[in-house]
Amino acid sequence: MSTETMTRAEAAPATLPVGHYGYDAVDRAFLRERIEQFRDQVNRRISGELTEEEFKPLRLMNGLYLQLHAYMLRVAVPYGTLDSRQVRALARIAREFDKGYGHFTTRQNIQFNWIRLEDTVAALEVLAEADMHAIQTSGNCIRNVTSDEFAGAAKDELLDPRVHAEILRQWSTLHPEFTFLPRKFKFAISGSPHDRVVARFHDVGLIARPGPHGRPVFEVFVGGGLGRTPIVGVSLRDDLPEEDLIAYVEAVLRVYNEFGRRDNIYKARIKILVQALGADEFRRRVEEEFVAMDRARYRLEPAIVEAIKARFGTPDFAPESNAADVLAQDRSRDAAFDAWVRTNTHEHKVPGYISVVVSLKPAGGIPGDATAEQLDLLADLAEEFSFGELRVTHLQNVVLGHVRQDQLHTVWQRLSQAGLGTANVNFITDIVACPGLDYCALANARSIPIAQKLSSRFADLELQREVGEMRINISGCINACGHHHAAHLGILGVDKRGEEAFQITLGGSGEKDASIGQILGPAMSEDDTVNAVARLIDFYLVRRENGERFLDTYRRVGTAAFKDVVYAPA
Amino acid sequence: MPLLENGRLVEDTWHYAIEGEPLGNGDVIVPPERLSEGLGRTAGRLGVALPNGEPASSLKAALPKLSLVVVTFPIFRDGRAFSQARALREHLHFTGQIRAAGHVLPDQYEFLIRCGVNTVEVAENADLSVWTRNLKQFDVAMQPSPVLDEKPTGFALRRLLNRAG
């Protein structure tokens, strides 16, 4: 059967997944072909036809890393949206190929840390059965496009960015020109004026808003990033029309592919090129390429966008008229539930509905880890209460996007029974941490144990509520996968004469007021760092004025006073 | 070195200019610094080996008189040659042969062709079946090639890869 007849045969699918693109036979055939290609590559590696140096980039582009103790498989979750069937497939991989759990990442993906090379093709086949893959979750190519965890649900959203995220996903998949870039390349896209995707810290960050004739326009940020050299991205275009989206990002990537440095892995990201050329010269080169292109060839016609959009399932909202009243009664009857609702929910655009953030940060736990049983429960809850849809957040939690307010108490009870009811979202124990030296070959220090110690130290929910909104991020090395620079309080693991040690950074933010955290002083041991954080929090509680967050007090009071708290002799 | 076109071995009528020796009369590939010498010949076709860091536009003036441009991969991970080939076709409308040389993997074959490359120099001991297999690995691409007029298939940006061989 040709691919064309398959397309027609599947032209009108019975049901489409809510919140993400529904595969058709062509997409499925493509995944099968990709798996066959990878099987062939593994065989050629085993036969010695491919050297390890040659095999490495090929396996990385299928999401397969070699870590300290085992292979790690990073599964793509395009724009962070999954359906129940996919979540169950992830649970199956955790059970059959890993040690019974998976780890959600800051790129809205999930990774499995204990995969055997000989199982990877089988694992990819399990993923493919659920329309999932690990394509371009690593390597010097265009990575998974991340998006807003409240997309399609948030009251403040102007448009759902996931349709354009899917267009970027398809366009970038095995792109012939951009699969061997100087370094990795990350897109994020938001459709809300409240930037929840950290757009200014991405290689390309897109903020979509409604434009003329009912079509969106995009603000384009380029050259942001964390890592060794944290830089806030520059705005290249404020009003890019939808029809030019593909042409313009192609132009950006062409300039990067041609001029980006390849002599030094640490200077190879686009942010270094943008800084070296200056924003104006970089913009000029992009514009020069952009005007030279045959734009008709790259035009993103509204019909194309609508065809992709038509393969997204949409929730059939049917709010109960008394949903808000039921929720209010449940809250007044149950204080613990009320506390959870205050921290772990987000306002929904449809009255009677609410979005739920499920914390994967239990007291003393490993940030972002979920067991196979928890994954199965999340799949069940998504199916029963949220149109079968589950989202991954860049802060390593998960979201049930569309829960009826009158069913929220039931959802909370079910979550709590599985250890998923922690009421700490955006609090001090809602910690982001990279895998660190427990898994990662690049790390200088372990991120997980210090995250667990901090989580235990501040486990008291009364204290957490008193401290209020507080972001702690932990990276095990200067590659900054834990995004410590973008945290109100960042912790960076370093190697201090063969010992693990930790630096504290203060004042970072990944939101609209984006800023890069500054190093407070010399690195300390794990326990000293935990104690230093406690002293910083005490100091903030004394010095804060009218409802300030930790970040606000730090910005007002300044570094010196905070530094004294940690380093001045008592 | 064996030369592949559309997944098949083809005869290579071209030779690289040898440093310090005259270019002779046949089909010769010169480095950019011997371009004027090559253009001054009266017999034989002329090709240029474009260095990896050079923009394709550096050949703009000479291009109408060139029959072949070589793009080079110092290592397969260095993807600049994809952009060079694409720019030669897309912006400079070069219709002659674009040849990929250097360290190229069969896994990159389709990308090369979709960026406008038509011949590839492969290693003497290369298993050609791997190259052929890679050419037929996929039936569709998820985005239009910047240079080939591939047929749309289904909807959205997909293109049908209709491979010979």
β-bridge pairing A345-347 and A353-358: antiparallel
Q: Is the same domain home to A160 and A287?
A: yes
Last residue of a domain, one of A282, A309, A336: A309
Residues of B in Cβ contact (< 8 Å) with A250: 146
| Secondary structure of residue B149 in the 3-state scheme | coil
The answer as to whether B158 is a domain residue is no
Q: Which of B77, B127, B146 sits opposite A180 (nearest CB)?
A: B77
Q: Do B83 and A258 touch (CB under 8 A)?
A: yes
CA angle at A473 for the pair A472 and A474, rounded to the nearest 5°: 125
Give me the pLDDT at residue A510, please.
Answer: 84
Which one of B88, B135, B139 makes the best mutation probe of the A interface by having the most chain A beta carbons within 10 Å? Answer: B139
* pLDDT tens-digit readout, B1-59: 899 999 999 999 999 999 999 998 899 999 999 999 999 998 999 999 999 999 999 99
Q: Is the same domain home to A480 and A374?
A: no
The answer as to whether A91 is a domain residue is yes
The answer as to whether A121 is a domain residue is yes
Question: Cα(A220)–Cα(A187) distance, rounded to whole angstroms?
Answer: 10
- Three-class HEC string of A118-167: HHHHHHHHHHHHCCCCCCCCCCCCECCCEECCCCCCECCCCCCCHHHHHH
Residue whose structure tokens are 């972001």: A471
CB count, 10 Å around CB of B73?
A: 22
The residue of chain A nearest to residue B134, with distances taken between CA atoms, is A37
Q: Is the same domain home to A20 and A62?
A: yes
Question: Cα(B109)–Cα(A301) distance, rounded to whole angstroms?
Answer: 30
Give me the pLDDT at residue A5, please.
Answer: 42
User: With an 8 Å Cβ cutoff, is B58 touching chain A?
Assistant: no
- Residues contacting A564, CB < 8 A, separation 6+: none
Tell me the pLDDT of chain A (570 aa) as tens digits. 344 444 443 444 568 999 999 999 999 999 999 999 999 999 999 899 999 999 999 999 999 998 888 899 999 999 999 999 999 999 999 999 999 999 999 999 999 999 998 899 999 999 999 999 999 999 999 999 999 999 999 999 999 999 999 999 999 999 999 999 999 999 999 999 988 898 999 999 999 999 999 999 999 999 999 888 889 999 999 999 999 999 999 999 999 999 999 999 999 999 999 999 999 999 999 999 999 999 899 999 999 999 999 999 999 999 899 999 999 999 999 999 999 999 999 999 999 999 999 999 999 999 999 999 999 999 999 999 999 999 999 999 999 999 999 999 999 999 999 999 999 999 999 999 999 999 998 999 999 999 999 999 999 999 999 999 999 999 999 999 999 999 999 999 999 999 999 999 999 998 878 899 999 999 999 999 999 999 999 999 999 999 999 999 999 999 999 999 999 876
CA angle at A65 for the pair A61 and A69, rounded to the nearest 5°: 170
CA angle at B143 for the pair A7 and A245, rounded to the nearest 5°: 120
The answer as to whether A523 is a domain residue is yes
Q: CATH number of the domain that A94 lies in?
A: 3.90.480
The answer as to whether B155 is a domain residue is no
The answer as to whether A318 is a domain residue is no
CA angle at A232 for the pair A229 and A235, rounded to the nearest 5°: 135
Identity at A80, one-letter amino acid code: G
Q: How far is B160 from chain A (nearest CA, A)?
A: 8
- DSSP designation for A448: H
User: With an 8 Å Cβ cutoff, is B1 touching chain A?
Assistant: no
Q: How far is A96 from chain B (nearest CA, A)?
A: 29
B 9-48 residues with CB below 8 A of A? none
Residue whose structure tokens are 């029309």: A241
* pLDDT tens-digit readout, B97-136: 999 999 999 999 999 999 999 999 999 989 999 999 999 9
| Secondary structure of residue A243 in the 3-state scheme | helix
CA angle at B124 for the pair B118 and B129, rounded to the nearest 5°: 65
The answer as to whether A11 is a domain residue is yes
CB count, 10 Å around CB of B40?
A: 9
Which one of B127, B143, B162, B163 makes the best mutation probe of the A interface by having the most chain A beta carbons within 10 Å? Answer: B143
Q: Do A29 and B82 touch (CB under 8 A)?
A: no
The answer as to whether A422 is a domain residue is no
Q: Is the same domain home to A448 and A551?
A: yes
Beta-strand (E) ranges in A436-545? 472-475, 489-496, 499-506, 518-519
Q: Is the same domain home to A546 and A440?
A: yes
Which one of A8, A175, A183, A252 makes the best mutation probe of the B interface by having the most chain B beta carbons within 10 Å? Answer: A175
The answer as to whether B152 is a domain residue is no
Residue whose structure tokens are 């040389």: B101
Q: H or E segment at A90?
A: helix A84-97
Give me the pLDDT at residue A272, please.
Answer: 97
The answer as to whether B34 is a domain residue is yes
Q: Is the same domain home to A159 and A301?
A: yes
The answer as to whether B28 is a domain residue is yes
A161 and A151 in contact (C-beta within 8 Å)? yes
The answer as to whether B149 is a domain residue is no
The residues with which A229 forms a beta bridge, in sequence order, are none
Rounded to two decimals, the ipTM of the complex is 0.96
Q: Do A3 and B139 touch (CB under 8 A)?
A: yes
φ, ψ of residue A218 to 5 degrees: the values are -130, 135
User: With an 8 Å Cβ cutoff, is B60 touching chain A?
Assistant: no
Q: CATH number of the domain that A359 lies in?
A: 3.90.480.20
Q: CATH number of the domain that B94 lies in?
A: 3.20.20.70
Q: How far is A8 from chain B (nearest CA, A)?
A: 8
Q: H or E segment at A96?
A: helix A84-97
Q: Is the same domain home to A281 and A183?
A: yes
| Residue numbers of the domain that contains B33 | 3-137
Q: How far is B15 from chain A (nearest CA, A)?
A: 28
Q: Is the same domain home to A26 and A113?
A: yes
Q: Which of B78, B82, B160 sits opposite A177 (nearest CB)?
A: B82
Last residue of a domain, one of A417, A446, A462: A417
H helical segments located in B100-147: 109-114, 128-135
Give me the pLDDT at residue A3, please.
Answer: 43
Q: Do A179 and B111 touch (CB under 8 A)?
A: yes
Q: Is the same domain home to A77 and A35?
A: yes
Residue whose structure tokens are 């204990």: A114
Give me the pLDDT at residue A513, please.
Answer: 81
| Secondary structure of residue A222 in the 3-state scheme | strand
Q: CATH number of the domain that A499 lies in?
A: 3.30.413.10
Which one of B125, B153, B155, B159 makes the best mutation probe of the A interface by having the most chain A beta carbons within 10 Å? Answer: B155
| Residue numbers of the domain that contains A473 | 432-567
Give me the pLDDT at residue A480, please.
Answer: 92
Residues of B in Cβ contact (< 8 Å) with A23: none
Quick one: which of A326, A334, A378 has its CA closest to A357? A378
Q: What is the side-by-side order of every strand in the sheet holding B119-121?
A: B8-10, B3-5, B119-121, B97-102, B68-73, B46-50, B27-30, B14-16
Quick one: which of A382, A379, A380 has its CA closest to A400? A382
A172 and A206 in contact (C-beta within 8 Å)? no
- Three-class HEC string of A372-441: HHHHHHHHHHHHHHCCCEEEECCCCCEEEEEEEHHHHHHHHHHHHHCCCCCCCCCCCCCCEECCHHHCCC
Give me the pLDDT at residue B155, please.
Answer: 81
Give me the pLDDT at residue A14, please.
Answer: 63
Total domain count, chain A:
4
Please compute, for residue A321, the number of CA atoms within 13 A of its CA located in the half-sphere on the CB side: 0
| Tokens linked to A64 | 């397969």
Last residue of a domain, one of A417, A445, A477: A417
How close are the terminal C-alpha atoms of chain B, in Å?
21
Q: Is the same domain home to A189 and A212?
A: yes
The answer as to whether A317 is a domain residue is no
Quick one: which of A524, A520, A436 has its CA closest to A477? A436
Identity at B44, one-letter amino acid code: G
The residues with which B142 forms a beta bridge, in sequence order, are none
| Secondary structure of residue A370 in the 3-state scheme | strand
The answer as to whether B13 is a domain residue is yes
The answer as to whether B157 is a domain residue is no
Give me the pLDDT at residue B163, please.
Answer: 63
The answer as to whether A134 is a domain residue is no
Q: Is the same domain home to A121 and A162?
A: no
A447 and A455 in contact (C-beta within 8 Å)? no
Total domain count, chain B:
1
Q: Is the same domain home to A276 and A158?
A: yes
The residues with which A398 forms a beta bridge, in sequence order, are A358, A392
